[in-house]
Chains A and B, each alone.
Chain A
Amino acid sequence: MITWVLYDIKNNSARSYVSKACKHAGLYRVQYSCFLGTLNANEKDSLELQINKVINEETDKVYLFRMNKEQLKECSMLGQAFDEKLVTDEVKALFF
């Protein structure tokens, strides 16, 4: 399923840990503190556990939203939007 991860984390090292964990899980950075990509239920749970370990529950906020492709299509994206095919794993080839 398509998963959005949004966060506000005060501590620098915790924040960079979370961003790395997101990239590791195969998510793409769409804004400074917003990641997006396709995760299955296990991958989502494991990411959640990793994030939970480092954040401060008193000060930090992290949201994980799940949606399917139909719901993503209903979203409005303005300006410099991300590549929809990339985050839904439909891109089969990347060129460098």
Chain B
Amino acid sequence: MQIFINTYGTYLHVMDDMFEIKVREDKKQPFKVNHIAAHKVTSFIVSKGAALTTDAIALALKHNIDIVIVENNGHPMGRFWHSKLGSTTKIRKQQLVASLNETGLIWVKSWLAKKLENQADFLNGLKKHRKLQHAYLDEKCAAILEFRKKILETDGPDVSSVAESFRGWEGSAGRHYFEALSTCIPNTYQFKGRSFRPAQDEFNALLNYAYGILYSRIERALMLAGLDPFVGFMHRDDYNSKSLVYDFIEPYRIYGERFVFKMFTSKKMNKSYFDNFTGGVSLNQDGKAFFVPEYLEYLDNDRIKYKGRLQTRLNATQLEAHRFANSLIEKE
């Protein structure tokens, strides 16, 4: 189970080889103490304002539990991880090689194509209950699939030679896609395109939060597979940019999008789950407590078919990360 620590002043330490979490609502009340056995925890998601002891970190490392420090919008800032690689260094060497030759390009094309395919599939599915918007959604699907075709047809010696065009096509497809999604959700939540840091509307605020959780899980999956999250193929090698996470997440963004969309269309979200501040909107404490358990249920418990077997969505991404890592070293 994942432990989310959001309350200011929460204290996490070790007692009798178990995690002890002390928390209180306000200063007048006594601390509530909770004990959790180490093997029940898979990760700690900690936002600012909590204190943890080195013993707690050590116990977490010993049990392969990652401690992720997140920003208010759910984006991971950093994590504690044991000072070992998830697997052999060979994978990382090959990953660097692949980032400079056509192997990287093949993977980038497959990820982007899958992403656009997912977007088109989703819009296609929306037609079922929206008879009046058939023509509009068809048009958007066609536009997205056109960009997909362009990406698949482009060849080059390596990723950097075509990255600029890819980014353009991907962005244009995204604009069509989100425009279509906006017209399909209830009027009060319609939005104008994507916005981050800060989000301009409720839909973007929730989607950013959902992506944030996904980033952290994808990064973990990549590390477990022995890959270096910082060595990406298509996203720029900026300082401290987890390029591979942003590359690899593309086919899985749809999980967040579908779920967030469903939360709005099924009228489960309401305005009280969001705080408005100058220049933006963010998901508040109540909103997080409502949204996260349902979202994790969808990612961690709900099963989909992957390679002929029923798997949870996150398990399927983990298997895919291993498959990617193995394909890199097979070609030696």
Q: Which residues of A contact B (CB under 8 A)?
A: 20, 23-26, 89-96
Contact = CB atoms under 8 A, between A and B. Distances in A.
A91 B3 CA distance: 10
B6 A95 contact: yes
B1 A23 contact: no
Interface of B: 1-7, 10, 16-18, 21, 23, 34-37, 39-40, 288-289, 292-293, 296-297, 300-301
24 contacts: A23-B16, A23-B18, A24-B18, A25-B37, A26-B39, A26-B40, A89-B1, A90-B301, A91-B1, A92-B296, A92-B297, A92-B300, A93-B2, A93-B292, A93-B293, A93-B296, A94-B3, A94-B36, A95-B6, A96-B3, A96-B4, A96-B6, A96-B7, A96-B10
Contact of B23 (A23, A92, A96): A96
A24 B17 contact: yes
Contacts of A92: 1-2, 293, 296-297, 300-301
Contacts of B23: 96
B195 to A, nearest CB: 27
Given A93-B2, A94-B1, A23 B300 contact: no
A24 B35 CA distance: 9
For B3, B23, B34, B37, which residue has the most chain A Cβ atoms within 10 angstroms?
B37
A84 B18 CA distance: 22
A89 B297 CA distance: 12
A24 B19 CA distance: 10
A89 B16 CA distance: 22
A82 to B, nearest CB: 14
Given A24-B18, A95-B4, 16 more contacts: A23-B18, A23-B35, A26-B37, A89-B1, A92-B1, A92-B2, A92-B293, A92-B296, A93-B293, A93-B296, A94-B1, A94-B3, A95-B288, A95-B289, A96-B6, A96-B23
Nearest to A92: B296
B293 A96 contact: no
Contacts of B35: 23
Contacts of A93: 1-4, 292-293, 296
Contacts of B3: 93-94, 96
A96 B16 contact: no
A93 B301 CA distance: 12
Contacts of B34: 96
A95 B10 CA distance: 11
Contacts of A24: 16-18, 37
Contacts of A25: 37
A78 B148 CA distance: 58
A36 to B, nearest CB: 13
4 closest residue pairs by CB, A with B: A26-B37, A92-B296, A96-B23, A95-B4
For A24, A90, A95, which residue has the most chain B Cβ atoms within 10 angstroms?
A95
B21 A96 contact: yes
A24 B20 CA distance: 12
B305 to A, nearest CB: 21
A91 B293 CA distance: 8
A56 B99 CA distance: 66
Contacts of B300: 92
B70 to A, nearest CB: 13
B53 to A, nearest CB: 16
Contacts of B2: 92-94
Contacts of A90: 301
Nearest to B299: A92
Nearest to B295: A93
Contacts of B301: 90, 92
A58 B215 CA distance: 57
A89 B288 CA distance: 21
For B40, B296, B300, which residue has the most chain A Cβ atoms within 10 angstroms?
B40
